[in-house]
């Protein structure tokens, strides 16, 4: 009993469910591997970039130094956001503290959007893959029972094989969902730590420049 045999014995709906699970697995692992690499690099880059900035003698020199460490462009946008907006615009209205708050908030939203990319996909796959696998199992059992009933040979031996093969779809759904859920939780903790570092830097930058 193996997945190839189950796939070969399935009808169109069973094959569609198996292909969907395969695509979900591929998508989740691509995101997992990419985010693991990206977040591992980002965590160290943010710490080094912030330290390099505060060791610089001027704001311009600090932005230059950040460029050597901030490979993911996570800290530099915050420094660039502190530039004064063009005169005569609503962005230039209000005092300097209000301008910095608005600019830094917008920059943080853009950075967090990049850090959070892929999280929705992992959450969706983690929550839906078991049900997709269960659908494949239910349909497989139904298909197997109707085939056995049509043959007129109902026995434990005739039922156990097809039903056992259909249950593989549930296991496949869990195999797709579990890595996605674990990765989602793991990445979430790393993102929260990086977000705290960036928010602290943005707050210090605002207090320094207002």
What are 46-59's pLDDT values in tens digits? 999 999 889 988 88
Q: Is the pLDDT of residue 85 over 80?
A: no
Alpha-carbon distances of 43 from 47, 99, 140, 172, 189, rounded to whole Å: 7, 28, 46, 33, 12
Q: What pLDDT does residue 120 have?
A: 95
Domain that holds residue 130: 3-209
Beta-carbon contacts of 210 under 8 Å, excluding residues fewer than 6 positions away, are 95, 96, 97, 100
pLDDT in tens, 132-191: 999 888 887 877 777 667 666 665 656 666 677 678 888 999 999 999 999 999 999 999
The region of weakest confidence among 14-18, 67-71, 90-94 is 90-94
Collapsing DSSP states into helix, strand and coil, what is residue 57? coil
- What six digits make up the tokens of 46? 């943010």
How many domains does the structure of the chain reveal? Answer: 1
Residue from 78, 72, 31 nearest 187 by CA: 31
């Amino acid at each position: 009993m193996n997945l190839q045999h189950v796939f070969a014995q399935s009808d169109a709906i069973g094959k569609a469910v198996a292909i969907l699970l395969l695509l979900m697995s591929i998508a989740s692992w691509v995101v997992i591997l990419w985010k693991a690499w990206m977040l591992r690099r980002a965590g160290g880059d943010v710490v080094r970039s912030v330290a390099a900035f505060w060791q610089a003698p001027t704001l311009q020199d600090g932005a230059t130094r950040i460029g050597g460490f901030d490979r993911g462009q996570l800290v530099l946008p915050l420094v660039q956001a502190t530039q004064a907006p063009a005169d005569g615009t609503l962005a230039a209205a209000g005092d300097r503290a209000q301008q910095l708050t608005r600019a830094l908030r917008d920059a943080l939203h853009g950075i967090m959007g990049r850090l959070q990319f892929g999280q929705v996909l992992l959450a969706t796959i983690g929550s839906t893959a078991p049900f997709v696998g269960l659908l494949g199992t239910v349909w497989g059992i139904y298909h197997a029972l109707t085939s056995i009933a049509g043959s007129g040979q109902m026995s434990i031996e005739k039922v156990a094989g097809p039903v056992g093969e259909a249950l593989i779809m549930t296991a496949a759904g869990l195999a797709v969902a579990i890595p996605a859920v674990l990765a989602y939780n793991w990445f979430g903790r790393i993102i929260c730590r990086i977000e705290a570092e960036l928010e602290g830097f943005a707050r210090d930058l605002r207090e320094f420049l207002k």
